[in-house]
Structure 1
Amino acid sequence: MKIAVEGGLGRDEASELYESVGWFGYTRDPDKLVRSLAGSHVLLTVRQEDGRLVGLARTISDGETVCYVQDLLVRPEAQRRGIGRVLMEELKRRYIECRFFLLSTDHAKTEDARKSHPFYRSLGLIPHEEQGMAAFGLPVKR
């Protein structure tokens, strides 16, 4: 497997990866997905030797004070092989100087979150409320 920084992804390749993990909200408008990936501060990808995309992580950042990990996804058949960990460790290394390194995910009561929250904690990430902080946002557009 090879990790790389890319400037964007093609429509079909991006849609296929996001659909493989059930993130259909992103694939309703594939052109918007492609534009969002191209507009990322950093887009890290992991590919198999044959070039097949198996995972990605992307950030939104000013590169100095804040890094927001927008997406981290790995194809289900490639999960539990350390790919997500490698992607996150590379992002943490790249943004080590940023005061804020943030990631939002589903509430702990959802099935996906019961799997992902221990993973994020193992990387040293701590929920906002445990840091005496709060996060706010407009309702998610589904």
Structure 2
Amino acid sequence: MRITADETPGLDRALALYDAVGWTAYTRDPDRLARSLAGSHSVVTAWDDDGGLVGLARTVSDGESICYIQDLLVHPASRRRGVARALLEEIQGRYAHCTFLALTTDAAGTEDAERSHPFYRALGFRPHDDLRLAAFGYRP
């Protein structure tokens, strides 16, 4: 596996990865995905030995005080192989001076939460309540 930073994959490869994980909010509007990737503070990608895109993480950040993990996705065929960990560790290493935030849509008690919450905890992330933070959202 090869990790690259700030090398945005081609739109066709990105669409295939987002589609493979079922993130249709991005795949329904390819131009929106292209703009999202281009507007990211950082894009870190994982590639298999055959040159296939197997993972992607992107951040929204000021680069100094806060780093928000916007997307973290791994192709289903490549899960449980350290891809997500490698992506996040690359970001954490580059922005070690920042506070990191991640918002997951995996509600407590769901199958996805059973997988993702322990993963984030293992990398030092804590629920907002534990850090005395509150998270708010608005979706038009």
**What TM-score comes out, normalization by structure 2 length?**
0.93
* Residues 43, 58 of structure 2: 8 Å contact kept: yes
Q: 1:89 maps to what in 2?
A: 89
Q: 1:12 maps to what in 2?
A: 12
Q: CA–CA distance in 1 between the matches of 2:10 and 2:69?
A: 21
1:37-116 pair list within 5 angstroms: 37-98=37-98, 100-106=99-105, 107-116=107-116
What are structure 2's unaligned runs of at least 5 residues?
none
What are structure 1's unaligned runs of at least 5 residues?
none
* Residues 66, 101 of structure 1: 8 Å contact kept: yes
Which stretch has the larger CA shift, 64-73 or 32-41? 32-41
Q: 2:117 maps to what in 1?
A: 117
Q: Over residues 31-89 of structure 1, what are the superposed CA-to-partner deviations in whole Å (9 max), with x where a residue is unaligned?
A: 11011111111100111122110001110100001100001111011010111111111
Q: CA–CA distance in 1 between the matches of 2:85 and 2:127?
A: 18
* Residues 8, 34 of structure 1: 8 Å contact kept: no
What is the one-letter code of the residue matched to 1:33? L
Q: 1:21 maps to what in 2?
A: 21
Task: Give the drift of 1:7.
Answer: 4.0
Q: Root-mean-square deviation (CA), in Å?
A: 1.2
Q: 1:136 maps to what in 2?
A: 136
* Residues 58, 69 of structure 1: 8 Å contact kept: yes
Q: 2:31 maps to what in 1?
A: 31
**What TM-score comes out, normalization by structure 1 length?**
0.92
Q: How many residues align?
A: 139
Q: Secondary structure at the match of 1:67?
A: strand
Q: CA–CA distance in 2 between the matches of 1:19 and 1:109?
A: 25
* Residues 7, 38 of structure 1: 8 Å contact kept: no
